[in-house]
Structure 1
């Protein structure tokens, strides 16, 4: 009788170790929620153009990101809303939304959550709206002249999603 109890206990114990998963650590390089990739172009030539002293701030935030002498930036979209409004401050800072050279772009998108793993959780990908994906709030002195959507599906950061002409 003791043999059967010992055998049963051994089988149950072995089965419990068989069902264990590896550590709950999200491995580096695992795909996560991608950022929006924005590239800047010269309005007259259509060539890639560096922008200097650029502050980028999401509406409702006290600070954002500063960039200097770059032609391409990445910026996170909100994963809990279908709209993100971003201020682009030319010759400003990442905390200055009162600057006269501040233009506002509204990004409208659909969100899709994808399960990655138990350790990593979910990631969110985005699909820009086909007609109103990037809307520039126009005023009398916009420094941004035009916006085009180069890639509406934001699934990684390997390609440009938005082109801004100034």
Structure 2
């Protein structure tokens, strides 16, 4: 007679993703209307790889650095053509505090971002932001900030 016992595998099934900041782009003249950004690229300051290159999109999810209290992105768009001299540049600076949230032994930790403040460079192609302050980013269910251009 033999005994066997099973132990539950320790897999992370909760998907404890550290949330990204979700930006949704809107028409500055009709704030209820989404407006795609044409030939859009975004790169974190100090990095060499772009998150998006030459995309047409009306929303993006951008990661924040959980090991720092600030993330800076350069956002580039070109609504005319693919000629570099026609690129429009904006710098988006995101300041925040972080909190680590323990999920489980197999999942580990994730970051939650609190007391977020956003500023964009002027002049830029970004006309305004729906808010400059976000109290918490702990999910990716909906847009956190609307960008009007």
TM exceeding 0.5: yes
Q: Which residue in 2 is equivalent to 1:76?
A: 63
Q: Which residue in 2 is equivalent to 1:136?
A: 120
C-alpha offsets along residues 147-166 of structure 1, whole Å, 9 cap, x if unaligned? 12385321111011111111
In the alignment, is the contact (CA less than 8 A) between 1:89 and 1:99 conserved in 2?
no
Q: Which residue in 1 is equivalent to 2:129?
A: 147
How far apart, CA to CA, are the structure 2 residues paired with 1:84 and 1:136? 12
Alignment of 1:1-150 (within 5 A): 22-27=8-13, 29-46=14-31, 47-66=33-52, 68-91=55-78, 100-129=87-116, 133-139=117-123, 142-149=124-131
How many positions carry a matched residue from both structures? 138
In the alignment, is the contact (CA less than 8 A) between 2:90 and 2:120 conserved in 1?
yes
Q: Which residue in 2 is equivalent to 1:163?
A: 146
In the alignment, is the contact (CA less than 8 A) between 2:112 and 2:137 conserved in 1?
yes
In the alignment, is the contact (CA less than 8 A) between 1:107 and 1:128 conserved in 2?
no
Give the deviation of 1:69 after TM superposition.
Answer: 2.4
Indicate the structure with greater strand content.
Answer: 2
Consecutive unaligned residues of structure 1, counting only runs of 5 or more, are 1-16
How far apart, CA to CA, are the structure 2 residues paired with 1:49 and 1:26? 37
Larger radius of gyration between Structure 1 and Structure 2: 1
Secondary structure at the aligned position of 1:33 is classed as coil
Secondary structure at the aligned position of 1:69 is classed as strand
How far apart, CA to CA, are the structure 1 residues paired with 2:11 and 2:85? 43
Consecutive unaligned residues of structure 2, counting only runs of 5 or more, are none
Indicate the structure with greater helix content.
Answer: 1
TM, length-normalised to structure 2: 0.82
RMSD (Å) for aligned C-alpha atoms: 2.5
